[in-house]
């Protein structure tokens, strides 16, 4: 697997999970204090970084402007499960990485989304070799 760095973020939002029976608690409007963990794996540069943690600051802005204190059904084009949020965030990060100078060293991205202290949905994406 190799070396990876991780950075955590948080946001609060509401959602309704479509497709569940009416009796399911998640079929009703509810909210969470989400935790997001972004992991980037790859080789280190001459300094010893895969990517500088500071370069990931844009993810905070993305989360703040697109997800935080929003109704996720209104802002995502998918059913806002933790799994789908993880995939959506991974797509955003992978797209951003394509134009980064560190791209040649980066092998993959892993996004974890937690709705409760004991649950995580984790999505891993390998980046194609350059």
DSSP conformation class of 27: G
How far apart (Å, rounded) are the C-alpha atoms in residues 52 and 110?
16
Identified catalytic residue from 26, 71, 91, 94:
26
Other Cβ atoms less than 10 A from the Cβ of 35: the count is 16
d(CA 4, CA 22): 41
Catalytic site includes residue 94? no
- Of 117, 98, 122, 129, which Cα lies nearest the Cα of 38? 122
Q: How many residues are there in the chain?
A: 130
Choosing from 6, 24, 69, 126, which is the catalytic residue?
69
- Known catalytic residue: 26? yes
Q: Would you call 68 helix, strand, or coil by DSSP? A: coil
Decide: 2 and 42 in contact? Cβ < 8 Å.
Answer: yes
| Residues assigned a catalytic role | 26, 69, 115
């Amino acid at each position: 697997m190799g070396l990876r760095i991780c950075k955590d973020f948080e946001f609060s939002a509401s959602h309704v999970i479509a497709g569940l029976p009416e009796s399911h608690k998640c079929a009703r409007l509810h909210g969470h204090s989400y935790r997001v963990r972004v992991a980037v794996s790859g080789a280190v540069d001459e300094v010893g970084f895969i990517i500088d943690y500071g370069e990931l600051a844009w993810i905070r802005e993305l989360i703040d402007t697109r997800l935080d204190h929003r109704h996720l059904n209104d802002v995502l084009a998918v059913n806002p499960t933790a799994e789908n949020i993880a995939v959506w965030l991974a797509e955003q990060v992978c797209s951003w990485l394509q134009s980064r100078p560190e791209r040649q060293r980066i092998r993959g991205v892993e996004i974890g989304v937690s709705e409760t202290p004991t649950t995580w949905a984790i999505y891993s994406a390998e980046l194609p070799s350059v």
